[in-house]
Amino acid sequence: MSPLAELQQAFCDALLSPEVPAESLLNELVDDGLALQRFNVYRNNFIVLNGDALADMYPVIKRLIGEEAFRALASAYVRLHPPQERALLLYGAQFPPFLESIPELSGLPYLSAVARIEYAWTESYHAEDSAVLSEQQVSTVPTEALGSCQLLPHPTLHLIHSDYPVHAIWQANQADDCNQVISLDQGESHVVILRPDIDVEVREVSRGAFHFLKRLQLGESIDRAYEAASQQDNSFDPGSFLTEHLFDGTFYKIKPSA
Amino acid sequence: MDEAITSLHSAPARVPSRAGAGLKAVHYQTIIDEQPDIGWFEIHPENYMGQGGAPLRYLERIRSDYPISMHSVGTSLGSHQPLDTNHLNELKRLVDRFQPGLVSEHLSWSHGYEWYTNDLIPLLYTEESLKLVVTHIQQVQETLQRKILIENPSSYLQFKQSEIPEQAFLVEAIKRSGAGLLLDVNNVFVSCKNHGWDIETYLAPITQEMVGEIHLAGHAIQSLGDQELLIDDHGSPVCTAVWELYRHCIDRLGDIPTLIERDSNIPSFDELQQEVQFAEQYLNSYREMSHVTTG
Protein backbone atom coordinates (compact mmCIF):
# COMPACT_ATOMS: atom_id res chain seq x y z
CA MET A 1 0.00 0.00 0.00
CA SER A 2 1.29 3.47 -0.85
CA PRO A 3 2.20 5.87 1.99
CA LEU A 4 -0.74 8.08 0.98
CA ALA A 5 -3.25 5.20 1.06
CA GLU A 6 -1.90 4.00 4.39
CA LEU A 7 -2.11 7.44 5.91
CA GLN A 8 -5.64 8.08 4.64
CA GLN A 9 -6.90 4.77 5.99
CA ALA A 10 -5.26 5.30 9.37
CA PHE A 11 -6.77 8.79 9.48
CA CYS A 12 -10.25 7.45 8.72
CA ASP A 13 -9.93 4.73 11.38
CA ALA A 14 -9.04 7.37 13.93
CA LEU A 15 -11.91 9.66 12.89
CA LEU A 16 -14.38 6.86 13.48
CA SER A 17 -13.04 5.70 16.83
CA PRO A 18 -13.82 7.48 20.11
CA GLU A 19 -10.43 6.32 21.45
CA VAL A 20 -7.16 8.25 21.38
CA PRO A 21 -5.68 7.76 17.89
CA ALA A 22 -2.97 5.15 17.42
CA GLU A 23 0.55 6.30 18.21
CA SER A 24 1.51 5.41 14.64
CA LEU A 25 -0.91 8.05 13.31
CA LEU A 26 0.06 10.72 15.83
CA ASN A 27 3.69 10.15 14.84
CA GLU A 28 2.76 11.18 11.30
CA LEU A 29 1.62 14.62 12.44
CA VAL A 30 3.88 17.65 12.77
CA ASP A 31 4.19 17.94 16.53
CA ASP A 32 4.14 21.32 18.20
CA GLY A 33 2.85 19.78 21.43
CA LEU A 34 -0.72 20.07 20.11
CA ALA A 35 -0.83 17.32 17.50
CA LEU A 36 -3.57 15.41 19.33
CA GLN A 37 -5.74 18.51 19.80
CA ARG A 38 -5.26 19.39 16.14
CA PHE A 39 -6.36 15.91 15.11
CA ASN A 40 -9.35 16.18 17.45
CA VAL A 41 -10.62 19.22 15.52
CA TYR A 42 -11.11 16.90 12.53
CA ARG A 43 -12.73 14.19 14.58
CA ASN A 44 -15.05 16.69 16.19
CA ASN A 45 -15.92 18.21 12.78
CA PHE A 46 -16.64 14.76 11.38
CA ILE A 47 -19.05 13.95 14.21
CA VAL A 48 -20.66 17.40 14.35
CA LEU A 49 -21.08 18.00 10.60
CA ASN A 50 -22.67 14.63 10.00
CA GLY A 51 -24.67 14.97 13.22
CA ASP A 52 -25.95 18.33 11.90
CA ALA A 53 -27.16 16.53 8.78
CA LEU A 54 -29.08 14.08 10.99
CA ALA A 55 -30.51 16.95 13.05
CA ASP A 56 -31.76 18.57 9.83
CA MET A 57 -33.34 15.30 8.78
CA TYR A 58 -34.93 14.52 12.18
CA PRO A 59 -36.07 17.80 13.80
CA VAL A 60 -39.07 16.16 15.51
CA ILE A 61 -36.94 13.43 17.08
CA LYS A 62 -34.60 16.17 18.34
CA ARG A 63 -37.55 18.00 19.92
CA LEU A 64 -38.93 14.83 21.48
CA ILE A 65 -35.72 13.70 23.19
CA GLY A 66 -33.96 17.06 23.60
CA GLU A 67 -30.82 18.52 22.05
CA GLU A 68 -28.35 16.83 24.38
CA ALA A 69 -29.71 13.30 24.04
CA PHE A 70 -30.04 13.81 20.29
CA ARG A 71 -26.38 14.85 19.98
CA ALA A 72 -25.22 11.81 21.94
CA LEU A 73 -27.30 9.48 19.78
CA ALA A 74 -26.19 11.23 16.59
CA SER A 75 -22.52 10.76 17.53
CA ALA A 76 -23.08 7.06 18.15
CA TYR A 77 -25.00 6.78 14.88
CA VAL A 78 -22.33 8.56 12.82
CA ARG A 79 -19.69 6.15 14.19
CA LEU A 80 -21.87 3.11 13.48
CA HIS A 81 -23.14 4.27 10.08
CA PRO A 82 -20.64 6.71 8.55
CA PRO A 83 -21.93 8.34 5.34
CA GLN A 84 -21.89 6.03 2.33
CA GLU A 85 -22.46 8.84 -0.14
CA ARG A 86 -20.91 12.18 -0.98
CA ALA A 87 -24.21 14.00 -0.92
CA LEU A 88 -25.73 14.12 2.55
CA LEU A 89 -29.28 14.68 1.27
CA LEU A 90 -30.47 11.23 2.30
CA TYR A 91 -27.99 10.52 5.10
CA GLY A 92 -29.65 8.81 8.06
CA ALA A 93 -31.65 5.98 6.47
CA GLN A 94 -30.76 3.59 9.31
CA PHE A 95 -31.68 6.04 12.07
CA PRO A 96 -35.23 4.69 12.70
CA PRO A 97 -34.08 1.08 13.35
CA PHE A 98 -31.08 2.48 15.24
CA LEU A 99 -33.47 4.29 17.62
CA GLU A 100 -35.31 1.03 18.16
CA SER A 101 -32.08 -0.68 19.15
CA ILE A 102 -31.33 1.74 22.01
CA PRO A 103 -32.54 0.22 25.32
CA GLU A 104 -32.76 3.65 27.02
CA LEU A 105 -35.39 4.70 24.47
CA SER A 106 -37.71 1.73 25.06
CA GLY A 107 -40.04 4.01 27.05
CA LEU A 108 -40.69 5.98 23.84
CA PRO A 109 -42.02 3.17 21.64
CA TYR A 110 -43.39 5.61 19.03
CA LEU A 111 -40.02 7.23 18.33
CA SER A 112 -38.88 4.99 15.50
CA ALA A 113 -42.15 5.41 13.56
CA VAL A 114 -41.96 9.20 13.94
CA ALA A 115 -38.41 8.98 12.56
CA ARG A 116 -39.72 6.96 9.63
CA ILE A 117 -42.18 9.76 8.85
CA GLU A 118 -39.32 12.26 8.88
CA TYR A 119 -37.12 10.12 6.62
CA ALA A 120 -39.99 9.50 4.21
CA TRP A 121 -40.63 13.27 4.17
CA THR A 122 -37.07 13.89 2.97
CA GLU A 123 -37.16 11.05 0.43
CA SER A 124 -40.35 12.48 -0.96
CA TYR A 125 -38.91 16.02 -0.95
CA HIS A 126 -35.97 14.98 -3.16
CA ALA A 127 -37.79 12.38 -5.30
CA GLU A 128 -38.11 12.72 -9.04
CA ASP A 129 -40.92 15.07 -10.10
CA SER A 130 -43.95 13.18 -11.37
CA ALA A 131 -47.23 14.33 -12.89
CA VAL A 132 -50.49 13.64 -11.06
CA LEU A 133 -53.44 11.69 -12.47
CA SER A 134 -55.61 13.80 -14.73
CA GLU A 135 -59.32 13.59 -15.47
CA GLN A 136 -58.43 13.12 -19.10
CA GLN A 137 -56.45 9.92 -18.33
CA VAL A 138 -59.37 8.47 -16.38
CA SER A 139 -61.89 9.43 -19.07
CA THR A 140 -60.18 7.10 -21.55
CA VAL A 141 -61.09 4.07 -19.40
CA PRO A 142 -64.61 2.62 -19.93
CA THR A 143 -66.53 2.74 -16.62
CA GLU A 144 -67.12 -1.01 -16.60
CA ALA A 145 -63.36 -1.64 -16.89
CA LEU A 146 -62.36 0.64 -14.00
CA GLY A 147 -62.42 -2.04 -11.29
CA SER A 148 -59.94 -4.22 -13.14
CA CYS A 149 -57.49 -1.35 -13.69
CA GLN A 150 -54.31 -0.66 -11.81
CA LEU A 151 -54.52 2.75 -10.14
CA LEU A 152 -50.97 3.64 -9.26
CA PRO A 153 -50.30 5.89 -6.26
CA HIS A 154 -47.93 8.81 -6.85
CA PRO A 155 -44.28 7.64 -6.97
CA THR A 156 -43.39 10.02 -4.09
CA LEU A 157 -46.00 8.37 -1.84
CA HIS A 158 -44.93 6.57 1.35
CA LEU A 159 -47.14 4.66 3.79
CA ILE A 160 -46.29 4.35 7.47
CA HIS A 161 -48.26 2.51 10.12
CA SER A 162 -47.70 2.56 13.86
CA ASP A 163 -49.61 1.26 16.89
CA TYR A 164 -49.15 4.76 18.37
CA PRO A 165 -50.63 8.13 17.33
CA VAL A 166 -47.51 9.13 15.42
CA HIS A 167 -49.27 11.46 13.01
CA ALA A 168 -50.57 13.54 15.92
CA ILE A 169 -47.11 13.49 17.53
CA TRP A 170 -45.41 14.52 14.29
CA GLN A 171 -48.01 17.24 13.64
CA ALA A 172 -47.84 18.71 17.14
CA ASN A 173 -44.05 19.00 16.89
CA GLN A 174 -43.97 20.99 13.68
CA ALA A 175 -44.04 24.21 15.67
CA ASP A 176 -41.32 24.95 18.20
CA ASP A 177 -43.68 26.41 20.77
CA CYS A 178 -46.24 23.63 20.94
CA ASN A 179 -46.78 21.90 24.28
CA GLN A 180 -49.81 19.86 23.36
CA VAL A 181 -50.24 16.65 25.35
CA ILE A 182 -50.99 13.63 23.20
CA SER A 183 -52.34 10.52 24.86
CA LEU A 184 -50.88 7.28 23.54
CA ASP A 185 -54.38 5.84 24.16
CA GLN A 186 -55.42 7.51 20.92
CA GLY A 187 -54.05 4.33 19.42
CA GLU A 188 -52.80 3.42 15.99
CA SER A 189 -52.03 5.78 13.17
CA HIS A 190 -51.91 5.38 9.38
CA VAL A 191 -49.81 8.01 7.68
CA VAL A 192 -49.45 8.93 4.02
CA ILE A 193 -46.52 11.08 2.90
CA LEU A 194 -46.45 12.40 -0.65
CA ARG A 195 -45.34 15.30 -2.83
CA PRO A 196 -47.72 15.90 -5.76
CA ASP A 197 -45.91 19.12 -6.72
CA ILE A 198 -43.35 21.05 -4.67
CA ASP A 199 -44.66 20.75 -1.10
CA VAL A 200 -44.54 17.50 0.86
CA GLU A 201 -47.89 16.56 2.42
CA VAL A 202 -48.28 14.39 5.51
CA ARG A 203 -51.81 13.06 6.02
CA GLU A 204 -53.53 10.71 8.39
CA VAL A 205 -55.87 8.25 6.65
CA SER A 206 -58.25 5.52 7.74
CA ARG A 207 -57.04 1.96 8.18
CA GLY A 208 -59.02 0.96 5.08
CA ALA A 209 -57.58 3.72 2.92
CA PHE A 210 -54.08 2.79 4.09
CA HIS A 211 -54.46 -0.83 3.02
CA PHE A 212 -56.20 0.19 -0.21
CA LEU A 213 -53.22 2.39 -1.13
CA LYS A 214 -50.77 -0.28 -0.05
CA ARG A 215 -52.34 -2.86 -2.35
CA LEU A 216 -52.56 -0.38 -5.21
CA GLN A 217 -48.89 0.43 -4.69
CA LEU A 218 -48.14 -3.29 -5.21
CA GLY A 219 -49.87 -3.07 -8.58
CA GLU A 220 -53.09 -4.87 -7.66
CA SER A 221 -56.32 -3.91 -9.44
CA ILE A 222 -58.80 -1.50 -7.83
CA ASP A 223 -61.23 -4.37 -7.16
CA ARG A 224 -58.63 -6.57 -5.49
CA ALA A 225 -57.20 -3.69 -3.48
CA TYR A 226 -60.71 -2.83 -2.27
CA GLU A 227 -61.33 -6.44 -1.29
CA ALA A 228 -58.14 -6.53 0.79
CA ALA A 229 -58.83 -3.13 2.34
CA SER A 230 -62.38 -4.02 3.36
CA GLN A 231 -61.09 -7.13 5.14
CA GLN A 232 -58.94 -4.80 7.26
CA ASP A 233 -61.64 -2.16 7.71
CA ASN A 234 -65.26 -3.00 6.84
CA SER A 235 -66.27 0.67 7.00
CA PHE A 236 -63.94 1.56 4.12
CA ASP A 237 -65.82 3.18 1.24
CA PRO A 238 -63.64 3.36 -1.87
CA GLY A 239 -66.22 5.51 -3.66
CA SER A 240 -65.99 8.39 -1.23
CA PHE A 241 -62.20 7.94 -0.83
CA LEU A 242 -61.68 8.20 -4.58
CA THR A 243 -64.10 11.10 -4.95
CA GLU A 244 -61.96 13.01 -2.52
CA HIS A 245 -58.49 11.87 -3.57
CA LEU A 246 -58.51 10.67 -7.20
CA PHE A 247 -57.22 13.96 -8.57
CA ASP A 248 -55.54 15.55 -5.52
CA GLY A 249 -52.09 14.15 -6.26
CA THR A 250 -52.50 10.85 -4.43
CA PHE A 251 -52.43 9.03 -7.78
CA TYR A 252 -50.45 9.37 -10.96
CA LYS A 253 -51.50 6.74 -13.43
CA ILE A 254 -54.33 4.40 -14.35
CA LYS A 255 -53.83 1.44 -16.66
CA PRO A 256 -55.42 -1.90 -17.51
CA SER A 257 -54.16 -4.71 -15.29
CA ALA A 258 -51.26 -6.62 -16.74
CA MET B 1 -38.56 17.17 -19.49
CA ASP B 2 -34.81 17.22 -18.85
CA GLU B 3 -34.14 18.15 -22.45
CA ALA B 4 -36.45 21.13 -22.33
CA ILE B 5 -34.77 22.35 -19.16
CA THR B 6 -31.26 21.91 -20.56
CA SER B 7 -32.12 24.01 -23.53
CA LEU B 8 -33.00 26.95 -21.28
CA HIS B 9 -29.29 27.58 -20.78
CA SER B 10 -27.37 26.74 -23.91
CA ALA B 11 -24.13 28.28 -22.63
CA PRO B 12 -22.61 29.17 -19.26
CA ALA B 13 -23.48 32.64 -17.98
CA ARG B 14 -20.16 34.27 -17.15
CA VAL B 15 -19.62 35.08 -13.47
CA PRO B 16 -18.92 38.83 -13.51
CA SER B 17 -16.11 40.61 -11.62
CA ARG B 18 -18.54 41.45 -8.89
CA ALA B 19 -19.30 40.16 -5.42
CA GLY B 20 -21.63 37.19 -5.04
CA ALA B 21 -23.24 35.24 -2.23
CA GLY B 22 -23.54 31.60 -1.29
CA LEU B 23 -27.11 30.49 -2.08
CA LYS B 24 -28.98 29.24 0.99
CA ALA B 25 -32.36 27.49 1.00
CA VAL B 26 -33.73 29.90 3.63
CA HIS B 27 -33.10 32.79 1.21
CA TYR B 28 -34.68 31.28 -1.95
CA GLN B 29 -38.00 33.06 -1.61
CA THR B 30 -36.50 36.44 -0.68
CA ILE B 31 -34.22 36.30 -3.72
CA ILE B 32 -37.06 35.38 -6.05
CA ASP B 33 -39.42 38.01 -4.59
CA GLU B 34 -36.99 40.89 -4.22
CA GLN B 35 -34.53 40.28 -7.09
CA PRO B 36 -31.64 41.82 -5.14
CA ASP B 37 -28.81 43.48 -7.05
CA ILE B 38 -26.21 40.77 -6.50
CA GLY B 39 -23.67 39.79 -9.15
CA TRP B 40 -24.01 36.02 -8.85
CA PHE B 41 -24.75 33.11 -6.54
CA GLU B 42 -22.73 30.05 -5.67
CA ILE B 43 -24.07 26.60 -4.77
CA HIS B 44 -22.67 23.31 -3.54
CA PRO B 45 -23.78 20.93 -6.31
CA GLU B 46 -24.03 18.11 -3.73
CA ASN B 47 -27.06 19.90 -2.26
CA TYR B 48 -28.81 19.59 -5.63
CA MET B 49 -28.10 15.93 -6.30
CA GLY B 50 -31.65 14.86 -5.48
CA GLN B 51 -33.84 13.63 -8.33
CA GLY B 52 -36.35 16.49 -8.22
CA GLY B 53 -38.38 18.71 -5.93
CA ALA B 54 -37.96 22.15 -4.42
CA PRO B 55 -34.15 22.63 -4.47
CA LEU B 56 -33.85 22.05 -8.22
CA ARG B 57 -37.02 24.04 -8.90
CA TYR B 58 -35.72 27.06 -6.95
CA LEU B 59 -32.29 26.79 -8.51
CA GLU B 60 -33.81 26.75 -11.97
CA ARG B 61 -35.70 29.92 -11.13
CA ILE B 62 -32.70 31.70 -9.62
CA ARG B 63 -30.43 30.59 -12.46
CA SER B 64 -32.77 32.29 -14.92
CA ASP B 65 -32.11 35.61 -13.13
CA TYR B 66 -28.45 35.31 -12.07
CA PRO B 67 -25.20 33.67 -13.15
CA ILE B 68 -24.21 30.86 -10.81
CA SER B 69 -21.04 29.13 -9.77
CA MET B 70 -20.76 25.51 -8.62
CA HIS B 71 -18.45 24.81 -5.71
CA SER B 72 -18.19 21.07 -5.23
CA VAL B 73 -17.35 19.51 -1.87
CA GLY B 74 -17.55 15.83 -2.75
CA THR B 75 -15.09 15.01 -5.53
CA SER B 76 -12.27 14.12 -3.11
CA LEU B 77 -9.49 15.09 -5.53
CA GLY B 78 -6.79 14.07 -3.07
CA SER B 79 -8.14 10.63 -2.31
CA HIS B 80 -5.84 7.66 -2.94
CA GLN B 81 -8.94 5.88 -4.28
CA PRO B 82 -10.26 6.38 -7.81
CA LEU B 83 -12.80 9.17 -8.22
CA ASP B 84 -16.41 8.08 -7.86
CA THR B 85 -17.77 8.07 -11.41
CA ASN B 86 -21.39 8.15 -10.18
CA HIS B 87 -20.69 11.38 -8.34
CA LEU B 88 -18.82 12.79 -11.35
CA ASN B 89 -21.74 11.94 -13.62
CA GLU B 90 -24.17 13.60 -11.23
CA LEU B 91 -21.94 16.67 -11.24
CA LYS B 92 -21.86 16.65 -15.02
CA ARG B 93 -25.63 16.39 -15.18
CA LEU B 94 -25.94 19.50 -12.99
CA VAL B 95 -23.26 21.40 -14.90
CA ASP B 96 -24.96 20.59 -18.22
CA ARG B 97 -28.37 21.55 -16.91
CA PHE B 98 -27.50 24.79 -15.10
CA GLN B 99 -24.47 25.95 -17.10
CA PRO B 100 -22.56 27.59 -14.25
CA GLY B 101 -20.03 30.31 -15.03
CA LEU B 102 -17.45 28.70 -12.76
CA VAL B 103 -16.91 25.21 -11.34
CA SER B 104 -14.55 24.60 -8.44
CA GLU B 105 -13.38 21.96 -5.95
CA HIS B 106 -11.07 21.82 -2.93
CA LEU B 107 -7.49 20.65 -2.64
CA SER B 108 -8.34 17.99 -0.06
CA TRP B 109 -9.83 14.54 0.35
CA SER B 110 -12.92 13.13 2.02
CA HIS B 111 -12.97 9.53 0.83
CA GLY B 112 -10.28 7.39 2.41
CA TYR B 113 -12.16 4.17 2.99
CA GLU B 114 -15.54 2.72 2.15
CA TRP B 115 -17.22 5.77 3.66
CA TYR B 116 -17.08 9.54 3.38
CA THR B 117 -15.96 12.04 5.98
CA ASN B 118 -18.04 14.85 4.45
CA ASP B 119 -15.31 17.10 5.77
CA LEU B 120 -12.26 18.37 3.91
CA ILE B 121 -9.15 16.58 5.14
CA PRO B 122 -5.69 17.95 4.25
CA LEU B 123 -3.32 16.18 1.90
CA LEU B 124 0.11 14.83 2.29
CA TYR B 125 2.15 17.18 0.08
CA THR B 126 4.44 14.81 -1.80
CA GLU B 127 5.21 14.13 -5.45
CA GLU B 128 3.00 11.00 -5.18
CA SER B 129 0.01 13.13 -4.06
CA LEU B 130 0.74 15.77 -6.68
CA LYS B 131 0.61 13.25 -9.53
CA LEU B 132 -2.61 11.81 -8.13
CA VAL B 133 -4.29 15.20 -7.71
CA VAL B 134 -3.27 16.28 -11.23
CA THR B 135 -4.71 13.06 -12.70
CA HIS B 136 -7.93 13.54 -10.75
CA ILE B 137 -8.30 17.21 -11.76
CA GLN B 138 -7.77 16.23 -15.39
CA GLN B 139 -10.38 13.51 -15.08
CA VAL B 140 -12.92 15.98 -13.69
CA GLN B 141 -12.10 18.50 -16.41
CA GLU B 142 -12.42 15.87 -19.13
CA THR B 143 -15.76 14.68 -17.75
CA LEU B 144 -17.16 18.18 -17.47
CA GLN B 145 -15.47 19.34 -20.69
CA ARG B 146 -14.31 22.51 -19.00
CA LYS B 147 -11.64 24.03 -16.82
CA ILE B 148 -12.22 23.95 -13.06
CA LEU B 149 -10.78 26.03 -10.22
CA ILE B 150 -8.99 24.46 -7.26
CA GLU B 151 -9.37 26.02 -3.82
CA ASN B 152 -6.56 26.35 -1.29
CA PRO B 153 -7.70 24.54 1.87
CA SER B 154 -7.90 25.64 5.47
CA SER B 155 -6.20 23.14 7.73
CA TYR B 156 -5.48 22.42 11.36
CA LEU B 157 -2.65 19.92 11.10
CA GLN B 158 0.30 19.04 8.88
CA PHE B 159 1.89 15.71 8.04
CA LYS B 160 5.58 15.12 8.71
CA GLN B 161 6.01 13.31 5.40
CA SER B 162 4.97 16.41 3.44
CA GLU B 163 7.86 17.58 1.26
CA ILE B 164 6.34 20.43 -0.73
CA PRO B 165 5.01 23.72 0.72
CA GLU B 166 1.24 23.95 0.23
CA GLN B 167 1.34 26.99 -2.08
CA ALA B 168 4.00 25.37 -4.31
CA PHE B 169 1.96 22.16 -4.44
CA LEU B 170 -1.18 24.07 -5.34
CA VAL B 171 0.46 26.17 -8.04
CA GLU B 172 2.18 23.13 -9.54
CA ALA B 173 -1.08 21.12 -9.55
CA ILE B 174 -2.78 24.00 -11.36
CA LYS B 175 -0.01 24.38 -13.92
CA ARG B 176 0.19 20.68 -14.71
CA SER B 177 -3.58 20.17 -14.96
CA GLY B 178 -4.50 23.39 -16.71
CA ALA B 179 -6.93 24.26 -13.89
CA GLY B 180 -7.31 27.67 -12.26
CA LEU B 181 -7.12 28.81 -8.65
CA LEU B 182 -9.96 29.66 -6.33
CA LEU B 183 -8.13 31.79 -3.78
CA ASP B 184 -9.88 31.51 -0.42
CA VAL B 185 -8.49 34.49 1.45
CA ASN B 186 -9.92 33.35 4.76
CA ASN B 187 -8.29 29.94 4.28
CA VAL B 188 -4.93 31.60 3.59
CA PHE B 189 -5.32 33.54 6.82
CA VAL B 190 -6.52 30.52 8.85
CA SER B 191 -3.87 28.08 7.60
CA CYS B 192 -1.01 30.58 7.89
CA LYS B 193 -2.01 31.40 11.49
CA ASN B 194 -2.53 27.74 12.39
CA HIS B 195 0.82 26.61 11.04
CA GLY B 196 2.93 29.71 11.59
CA TRP B 197 3.38 30.22 7.83
CA ASP B 198 4.21 33.65 6.41
CA ILE B 199 1.26 35.06 4.45
CA GLU B 200 3.43 36.90 1.89
CA THR B 201 5.44 33.75 1.21
CA TYR B 202 2.18 31.86 0.71
CA LEU B 203 0.84 34.42 -1.75
CA ALA B 204 4.14 34.97 -3.60
CA PRO B 205 3.80 32.29 -6.33
CA ILE B 206 0.15 33.16 -7.01
CA THR B 207 -0.31 35.27 -10.13
CA GLN B 208 -3.25 37.16 -11.59
CA GLU B 209 -3.79 34.79 -14.52
CA MET B 210 -4.17 31.78 -12.21
CA VAL B 211 -6.97 33.17 -10.08
CA GLY B 212 -10.57 32.83 -11.30
CA GLU B 213 -12.43 33.45 -8.05
CA ILE B 214 -11.95 34.62 -4.47
CA HIS B 215 -13.73 33.34 -1.36
CA LEU B 216 -14.28 35.27 1.85
CA ALA B 217 -15.77 33.86 5.05
CA GLY B 218 -15.68 34.11 8.81
CA HIS B 219 -13.78 31.79 11.11
CA ALA B 220 -13.99 30.84 14.79
CA ILE B 221 -11.18 30.93 17.33
CA GLN B 222 -10.57 27.89 19.51
CA SER B 223 -8.20 28.03 22.48
CA LEU B 224 -5.79 25.16 22.87
CA GLY B 225 -3.93 25.82 26.11
CA ASP B 226 -2.03 29.06 25.59
CA GLN B 227 -2.37 28.80 21.79
CA GLU B 228 -5.19 29.60 19.44
CA LEU B 229 -6.42 27.56 16.53
CA LEU B 230 -8.54 29.23 13.86
CA ILE B 231 -11.48 27.11 12.69
CA ASP B 232 -12.89 27.74 9.22
CA ASP B 233 -16.55 27.36 10.17
CA HIS B 234 -18.18 29.92 7.81
CA GLY B 235 -20.36 30.82 10.78
CA SER B 236 -19.72 34.54 11.29
CA PRO B 237 -19.08 37.72 9.28
CA VAL B 238 -15.66 38.18 7.65
CA CYS B 239 -13.24 39.59 10.27
CA THR B 240 -11.28 42.84 9.91
CA ALA B 241 -7.93 41.13 9.37
CA VAL B 242 -9.36 39.02 6.52
CA TRP B 243 -10.91 42.12 4.91
CA GLU B 244 -7.46 43.74 5.01
CA LEU B 245 -5.88 40.70 3.44
CA TYR B 246 -8.63 40.73 0.81
CA ARG B 247 -7.84 44.33 -0.17
CA HIS B 248 -4.20 43.40 -0.41
CA CYS B 249 -5.05 40.44 -2.68
CA ILE B 250 -7.29 42.54 -4.95
CA ASP B 251 -4.59 45.23 -5.24
CA ARG B 252 -2.16 42.53 -6.35
CA LEU B 253 -4.40 40.27 -8.41
CA GLY B 254 -7.12 42.54 -9.84
CA ASP B 255 -10.91 42.70 -9.63
CA ILE B 256 -11.65 39.01 -9.27
CA PRO B 257 -15.22 37.69 -8.70
CA THR B 258 -15.56 37.48 -4.93
CA LEU B 259 -17.90 35.26 -2.93
CA ILE B 260 -19.15 35.75 0.61
CA GLU B 261 -19.56 32.23 2.01
CA ARG B 262 -21.82 31.47 4.91
CA ASP B 263 -22.66 27.90 5.85
CA SER B 264 -23.72 28.05 9.50
CA ASN B 265 -25.53 30.63 11.67
CA ILE B 266 -27.10 31.79 8.41
CA PRO B 267 -28.05 35.49 8.79
CA SER B 268 -30.99 37.27 7.18
CA PHE B 269 -30.55 37.94 3.49
CA ASP B 270 -30.19 41.68 4.18
CA GLU B 271 -27.30 41.07 6.51
CA LEU B 272 -25.58 38.78 4.03
CA GLN B 273 -26.15 41.31 1.27
CA GLN B 274 -24.44 44.03 3.31
CA GLU B 275 -21.26 41.95 3.43
CA VAL B 276 -21.54 41.30 -0.30
CA GLN B 277 -21.87 45.03 -0.92
CA PHE B 278 -18.83 45.68 1.23
CA ALA B 279 -16.74 43.44 -1.03
CA GLU B 280 -18.31 45.00 -4.11
CA GLN B 281 -17.42 48.50 -2.94
CA TYR B 282 -13.81 47.46 -2.77
CA LEU B 283 -13.90 45.93 -6.25
CA ASN B 284 -15.41 49.19 -7.53
CA SER B 285 -12.87 51.41 -5.81
CA TYR B 286 -10.07 49.18 -7.09
CA ARG B 287 -11.37 49.65 -10.65
CA GLU B 288 -11.56 53.41 -10.21
CA MET B 289 -8.04 53.51 -8.79
CA SER B 290 -6.57 51.34 -11.51
CA HIS B 291 -8.40 53.42 -14.11
CA VAL B 292 -6.78 56.56 -12.69
CA THR B 293 -3.32 54.99 -12.60
CA THR B 294 -3.47 53.34 -16.00
CA GLY B 295 -5.57 56.04 -17.71
User: A57 pLDDT exceeds 50?
Assistant: yes
Residue A148: count other Cβ atoms within 10 Å of its Cβ.
13
Number of domains in chain B: 1
Segment (H or E) for A188: none
Domain residues for the domain of B217 are 2-294
Residues of A with Cβ-Cβ distance to B128 under 8 angstroms: 2-4
Q: What is the pLDDT of residue A257?
A: 80
Averaged over B46-74, what is the pLDDT? 96
Residues of B with Cβ-Cβ distance to A41 under 8 angstroms: 156-157, 222, 229, 231
Q: Looking at the DSSP assignment, which residues form a beta bridge with residue A253? A: A152
Domain residue limits, chain A: 129-258
Q: What is the pLDDT of residues B99-156, one digit of tens each?
A: 999 999 999 999 887 889 989 999 999 999 999 999 999 999 999 999 999 999 999 9
Say how far apart CA B124 and CA B126 lie, in whole Å. 6
What is the model's pTM?
0.94
Q: Do A86 and B53 touch (CB under 8 A)?
A: no
For chain A, the average pLDDT equals: 95
Q: Do A39 and B222 touch (CB under 8 A)?
A: no
Residue from A193, A176, A52 nearest A114 by CA = A193
Strand B211-216 to B258-260 pairing: parallel
Of B1, B50, B73, the CB nearest to A89: B50
Q: Do B50 and A42 touch (CB under 8 A)?
A: no
Say how far apart CA A57 and CA A54 lie, in whole Å. 5
Query: Which A positions 86-105 lie with beta carbon below 8 A of chain B?
Result: 86-89
B118, amino acid identity: N
Residue from A72, A14, A80 nearest A48 by CA = A72
Pick from A8, A42, A157 the residue to mutate for testing the B interface (most B CBs within 10 Å). Answer: A8
Residue A210 touches partner B, C-beta closer than 8 Å: no
Q: What is the pLDDT of residues B253-291, one digit of tens each?
A: 999 999 999 998 999 999 999 999 999 999 999 999 887
Give 3-state DSSP helix, strand, coil % of chain B, rounded to 5: 45, 20, 35
Q: What is the CATH number of the domain that holds B21?
A: 3.20.20.150
Q: What is the pLDDT of residues B152-196, one digit of tens each?
A: 999 999 999 999 999 999 999 999 999 999 999 999 999 999 999
Q: What is the pLDDT of residue A87?
A: 77
3-state DSSP assignment of residue A230? helix
Are B135 and B77 in contact by the 8 Å Cβ rule? The answer is no
The shortest C-alpha distance from A33 to chain B (Å) reads 10
Say how far apart CA B257 and CA B286 lie, in whole Å. 13
A229, amino acid identity: A
Q: Do A198 and B54 touch (CB under 8 A)?
A: yes
Of B53, B119, B129, the CB nearest to A127: B53
The shortest C-alpha distance from A15 to chain B (Å) reads 8
The shortest C-alpha distance from A194 to chain B (Å) reads 12
